[in-house]
Structure 1
Amino acid sequence: MTKLISIVTPLFNEEENVDDLCSRIAAVMASLPYDYEHLCIDNCSKDRTVALLRARAARDPKLKVIVNARNFGHIRSPYHALLQAAGDAVVVIAGDLQDPPEMIPEFIKKWEDGFKTVMAVKPESEESSLIFFVRKIYYKIINRISEVPLIDNATGAGLFDRDVIEILRSIADPYPYTRGLVCEIGYPIATVPFKQPRRTRGVTSQNFYTLYDIAMLGITKHSKLPLRLMAMLGFALAIVSLLAAFGYLLAKLLFWDKFQFGTAPILIGMFLFGAIQMLFLGMLGEYIASIQTQVRKLPLVVESERINF
């Protein structure tokens, strides 16, 4: 029996890319000895993305579409689509064409070689050099503090075997850091390096908040080190403060008339400790927010429509 490959594409306001994306995926899959389905999930686009998908699905039975009832964010919507795929292997490809569909044969080749997880990585990119540098630093930091080795410069595109999908489905994480979760599973991971092209059409939905959200998700899901650093640094600051207090007391006793305490050390100390407390409270809040998301047990998304299922 011919194996089925599921191609999963999350979309939001991609009317300028969706036709080209579907055509390129269809052309790639036509050259491979596999049956396939192309599953697009639309995160409540405000443009003509859904209309274009509906028209194309009317003449292409391999194109399946999920339309969300509202925008459920950049984490939940793609993950929901991943779990709906029926293939023996599931390939995730971004809708902005920055993950070229022509990488799919390379993913499948690694899968045929026995790898259950294949991830696209970008050692080079045509995006902003500043953003690319910040991403590289982030991956180096999170790899140092993570309890499991993560893949540097992973884009989120890649291939996941049916066994991996079943494990993800059993975990039932309502807000996962997918790139880290597949590393937690423990199967060997193959990588496919590529130079990421610049987006040529449309406007990215990524902004500072979404990038920050992904960054904090990676830290809170896969490392307890920040929490332990808070305790250790708090203890160290308490010791330093005690030593400073004894030093000032000794200086005052020895030079009673000449030594003036002054307001500058008080103000500096207050602002320093205030800033550290705010930093610690913010990081602690990220962990609490992650716990709250887990215990609420909300669905990943609510669908308003399915096409070609």
Structure 2
Amino acid sequence: MTTDRPGISVVIPCYNEEDNAAQIAAAVVAELERARASFEIIFIDNASTDRTAEIVRGLCAADPRVRLIVNTRNFGQMRSPTHGIFQARGRAVVGMCADFQDPPELLGRFVEQWRAGFDIVLGVREQGRSTFVFGSLRRIFYWFAGKVGEYRIIPDATGFGLYDRKVVDAIASLREPEPFFRGMLVETGYPVDIVRYPRPGRLRGVSKNNFLTLLDFALSGLASSSKNLIRLTFPVAALCGMLAAMSLVAAPIAWLVGGAGGWWLVAAVVQLQFALLFGFLGLIGDQARLVSERTRGTPLVVERERVNFPAEPRLPVEPRR
């Protein structure tokens, strides 16, 4: 087995992808050989219940450039792919799905842009027709994320793309226990080159996502991309405090003109209680965030098995060409 650092590492997370594993590996090999790039392919299996791991073991036996990590259980669609990316040895890393929703024919373009000097090259999928409800929810999510986020989330970027080694190392240094990887790419501050591509007409296999998993992904992305979200309680507390002050001013005026000043006083007390409640919730939430940031260290996944990984430590960074 060669111990040289590959130019490109392609990380393919999978869960029950027995129909796609061999085909996606063959497509990736063809594209990267056409691009004249040295490479490794890392499959990280999230405890599939079908023959995915068995098929990839066969690929590993046939080609030492193919590697496999098998998790002890399903660690979700954020932690498992990121762990695979952190295990990659290449001078650049590509993250892509196993079911061909990320077209392998773009790999040559990604490598070309990276060789030209871009540190992050992201594929952005053009959205086709969708239902009014789903399209509206997407727009609301990106609008809200843009308002409360500390950095820009690129709409319709799924994380499919190429990332230079220094970008991957910068993200790894953050030690995020629930990594929203495509957001963290932007958080590093490295410039992003975008490659747009049409939405595939048909995927191989069935998507493992449903409304609840997509909602969980969206909420995790919002929570990890902005501390402003947890601090929204502070402006709410300030608003309630202002309303309480206005009600206190209105109470004696209402008594003077013969109105129901008592109700204004009750309203002031209630609003003051809400102001105190939201203020303390904000303080507690911000303290919890600080504790979380200072005590990160939870492993992303627990591995059951590794196949075809070299034993030596990671090599130093080398030039792109």
Interval of TM-score (by shorter of Structure 1 and Structure 2): 0.7 to 0.9
Contact 2:70–2:305 (8 Å) recurs in 1: yes
Q: Secondary structure at the match of 1:142?
A: helix
Counterpart residue number, 1:143: 146
CA drift of 1:76 comes to 1.0
Q: Distance in 1 between matches of 2:203 and 2:168?
A: 32
Q: Distance in 1 between matches of 2:231 and 2:134?
A: 29
Counterpart residue number, 1:163: 166
> Amino acid of the residue matched to residue 118 of structure 1?
V
Q: CA separation of 1:39/1:223 partners in 2, compared to 1, >3 Å: closer, same or farther?
A: same
CA drift of 1:73 comes to 1.3
Q: Distance in 2 between matches of 1:204 and 1:285?
A: 35
Q: Which structure 1 segments of 5+ residues have no match?
A: none
Pairing partner for 1:115 from 95, 115, 118: 118
Moved more, 78-87 or 160-169: 160-169
Q: Distance in 1 between matches of 2:190 and 2:52?
A: 36
Counterpart residue number, 2:297: 297
Contact 1:39–1:65 (8 Å) recurs in 2: yes
In the superposition, the TM-score normalised over structure 1's length comes to 0.83
> Amino acid of the residue matched to residue 112 of structure 2?
K
Q: Which structure 2 segments of 5+ residues have no match?
A: 310-321
Q: Secondary structure at the match of 1:125?
A: coil
CA drift of 1:191 comes to 0.7
> Amino acid of the residue matched to residue 178 of structure 1?
F
Deviation by residue 1:58-101 (Cα, 9 ceiling, x = unmatched): 22322111000111111111011001111111111112211111
In the superposition, the TM-score normalised over structure 2's length comes to 0.80
Counterpart check, 1:188 vs 2:170: no
Counterpart check, 1:254 vs 2:257: yes
Q: Secondary structure at the match of 2:81?
A: helix
Q: CA separation of 1:55/1:129 partners in 2, compared to 1, >3 Å: closer, same or farther?
A: farther
Q: Distance in 2 between matches of 1:27 and 1:147?
A: 39
CA drift of 1:300 comes to 1.3
Count of paired positions: 304
- Indicate the RMSD between aligned Cα atoms, in angstroms: 3.5
Q: CA separation of 1:123/1:41 partners in 2, compared to 1, >3 Å: closer, same or farther?
A: same
Q: Distance in 2 between matches of 1:253 and 1:53?
A: 83
> Amino acid of the residue matched to residue 121 of structure 2?
V
Counterpart residue number, 1:224: 227
Q: CA separation of 1:169/1:229 partners in 2, compared to 1, >3 Å: closer, same or farther?
A: closer
> Amino acid of the residue matched to residue 7 of structure 1?
V
Pairing partner for 2:155 from 142, 152, 155: 152
CA drift of 1:53 comes to 1.4
Q: Distance in 1 between matches of 2:217 and 2:248?
A: 42
Contact 2:9–2:93 (8 Å) recurs in 1: yes
Matches within 5 A, 1:272-287: none
Give aligned-pair identity as a percent: 35
Q: CA separation of 1:117/1:296 partners in 2, compared to 1, >3 Å: closer, same or farther?
A: closer
Moved more, 17-26 or 88-97: 17-26
Moved more, 24-33 or 63-72: 24-33
